[in-house]
A and B are shown apart, each in its own frame.
Chain A
Amino acid sequence: MAWDSPSDDGGRDASRQGTLGDDLERSVAYAEQLMISINRARSRLRTFRLVQVALFFVGATMAVTLALSVSLSPAGSAGSELQPFTIYLPIMAGIVGVAGGLTFFVGPLRRQYESDLMTTIEITRAVREVLPAVAKRENWTEIRHGTMRARLSRFPISDRSGI
């Protein structure tokens, strides 16, 4: 990651210390990096969800087909009654396995997504709160203040805002 967390050096590295305005800009840059990960994770979660829905429909269709083929097969042909089971059951087991495997990946990905989102929201909320006062005290130019506000306007207010 190009930017370190603003608190990584604990403020000990004097060469990196600047004005509070610089800190705010570093914080927003860190939030922007997090936002890239958040968007990537969101896209993956959406793909997993689509695959899960597709697997559900395939499984359901196969179950219905299996039930129909058993009920419609002619009576007395014992071998042909078992044939659909031998074809479909391994496939359905595979589907269940893939769906289960996806859940295994989705859980940690979702937790990481939620954690990154909350961090981003907290950082940008703090920056929004103090930005007007800091910009005024440090005599920011209009362009610097406007750019910062435009950067902030890409972030949600809370996890209920949607992104």
Chain B
Amino acid sequence: MAVDDYWEAVRTRWSRSTVLANVDYAASVPNHFKVARNLNIFAPPRIPLAVTGMRGAGKTTLHKALRGRLTIGQSEDRLESPKKEAEVILARTPSGKRRFQLVVIPGQKDSLPGQRAVNAHFKGGRFPLGVIHVVSWGYSKIWDAESARSEIDALPVTAGESHIDRVRKYNLELELGDFRLTRELLQDCWQDRNPAVWLIIAVAKVDLFRGDLSEAGRYYLPASNPNHDSEFAKELRGFVNFLGEGLMRRLAVLPVSSLPERYAHGNSAIESSGDFDLSSRLAVNLSNTIGDFCGLG
């Protein structure tokens, strides 16, 4: 596949997916990848999948949404994930039942649980067949708001910029750094692999920027002219170039909204425009893509 065709296909999939986030979208999305709880502990080998992303990006919420464990409309009292979350899930697909080992890698990779999770799933010849890397266009939750405040205040001020814009700028820088670390990990464990691996960049919390999805897409997706790539897009393009398009045949950037809720920092806040239908459509779209990438479509 030529370079342009490769990224054109990824951009087309993103555009088709963003249609599902339109306010006036009414149709339901058929679910080909139904997840159930695995009750057979003696089950045959499982497909290893990992959820990565920076702190507060929404990995745990997405993990719960994929397992159908989120009560939409009921905001839960969420805390920082103290350790990796792992569960075997059973997927009923048109081509039969398959078992997955779905692991959430802590966002704080430079921590004891983070290192343990990385060593257990990305080192020593072990590797996930698929990775869902969660980003949130700067709307990730800051667990230590007090420490972050001085750094946010130290950022250069741009005219007309709101406080939330500055928080997003700060978060986007950290998100880029986290993607670089994830890229290094994946390059190390995926290079020269025989089975084709896949990567989904899940752009979470789209209920907060439903009207700006084109702009978010331009940030995360490599452009038709590489000179117009954002820093994130450059990293993504470099990642695919390093591994080769043959190995990375399956890559998608998809919008997600697992749990619509307002985003607040200090005295500023952004209201969510999401609802149950939006979350449901986007979750089904993500599940179907996972099934498709695992060859279960």
- Most chain B beta-carbon neighbours within 10 Å: one of A137, A152, A159: A152
| New contact pairs (6) apart from A128-B110, A129-B142, CB-CB < 8 Å | A129-B151, A130-B148, A130-B150, A133-B173, A134-B151, A149-B110
Chain A residues in 8 Å Cβ range of B174 = 132-133
B104 to chain A, nearest CB (A): 13
Chain A residues in 8 Å Cβ range of B83 = 157, 160-162
Query: Any chain B CB within 8 A of the CB of A43?
Result: no
Query: Any chain A CB within 8 A of the CB of B177?
Result: yes
- Which positions in A face B, CB cutoff 8 Å? 124-126, 128-134, 136-137, 149-150, 152-163
| Contact A126 B154, beta carbon cutoff 8 Å | no
Q: Contacts A130-B150, A157-B81, A157-B106: A125 and B112 contacting too (C-beta < 8 A)?
A: no
| Contact A155 B147, beta carbon cutoff 8 Å | no
Q: How many contacts between A and B, using CB within 8 angstroms?
A: 75
B176 to chain A, nearest CB (A): 9
| Contact B151 A130, beta carbon cutoff 8 Å | yes
Interface members, chain B 105-129 (any A CB < 8 Å):
106, 108-115
| Contact B150 A132, beta carbon cutoff 8 Å | no
Chain A residues in 8 Å Cβ range of B143 = 125, 129
Give the distance in Å from the alpha carbon of A135 to the alpha carbon of B111 in the complex.
18
Q: Which of these, A130, A134, A160, A161, contacts B112 with CB under 8 Å?
A: A161
Question: 14 A-B pairs, CB-CB below 8 angstroms?
Answer: A124-B111, A126-B146, A129-B142, A129-B147, A129-B148, A130-B147, A133-B173, A136-B173, A156-B82, A156-B111, A157-B111, A157-B113, A162-B113, A163-B112
Q: Contacts A130-B151, A132-B174: A157 and B144 contacting too (C-beta < 8 A)?
A: no
Give the distance in Å from the alpha carbon of A159 to the alpha carbon of B81 in the complex.
11
Query: Any chain A CB within 8 A of the CB of B80?
Result: yes
A25 to chain B, nearest CB (A): 14
Q: Which of these, A137, A157, A162, contacts B108 with CB under 8 Å?
A: A157
Give the distance in Å from the alpha carbon of A53 to the alpha carbon of B162 in the complex.
60
Chain B residues in 8 Å Cβ range of A163 = 112
Interface members, chain B 154-201 (any A CB < 8 Å):
154, 170, 173-174, 177
Interface members, chain B 189-238 (any A CB < 8 Å):
none
A156 to chain B, nearest CB (A): 5
Chain A residues in 8 Å Cβ range of B170 = 133
